Amino acid sequence: MATFVGYNSINQYKRFVLTDFELIKRDLLNYFNIRQGEKVGRPDIGTTMWTYVHEPQTDETVEAIRTEVMRVVSKDPRVVVTDLTVYPQDTGILVELQVQAIGGSASELIALFFNQITNTADYA
């Protein structure tokens, strides 16, 4: 896997540099916290995940969530999803993604919780 280097100041006090999967995880989390159309001048950036968080978790809703997560992750050229599981929760939605780095064998499980109370996504 190539080394990816980026910066993060969220919940960081001294170490702002992120590399490899830590950077990929932060970038995906940032993307999932932007609602589609919210970014000025970039209506294509963001996710429609938040429309599903408050919906009844039917088979159709779960499939729509899977489709939206795959769409968002496919925008990141560094990784590909190898497994995706959606777990409806009382206060939101838990999504577990198994992602693999392009051009490498490194793989990691990313668990994201979409909280309907705080309307934020975070690591589970």
Nearest residue to 73 via CA among 65, 9, 91: 65
Nearest residue to 113 via CA among 32, 48, 20, 34: 32
Quick one: which H or E segment has residue 120? Answer: strand 120-123
Taking the model in full, what pTM does it have?
A: 0.82
Per-residue pLDDT of the chain (124 residues; tens, 9 = 90+): 445 555 444 555 555 656 567 778 888 888 899 999 888 888 888 899 999 998 988 999 999 999 999 999 999 888 899 999 999 998 999 999 999 988 777 789 999 999 999 999 999 8
Tokens of 73: 């992750």
Q: Say which CATH topology domain 5-123 has.
A: Nuclear Transport Factor 2; Chain: A, (3.10.450)
Q: Which residues contact 7 (CB under 8 A, 6 or more apart)?
A: 16, 17, 18
Q: Where are the domains of the chain?
A: 5-123
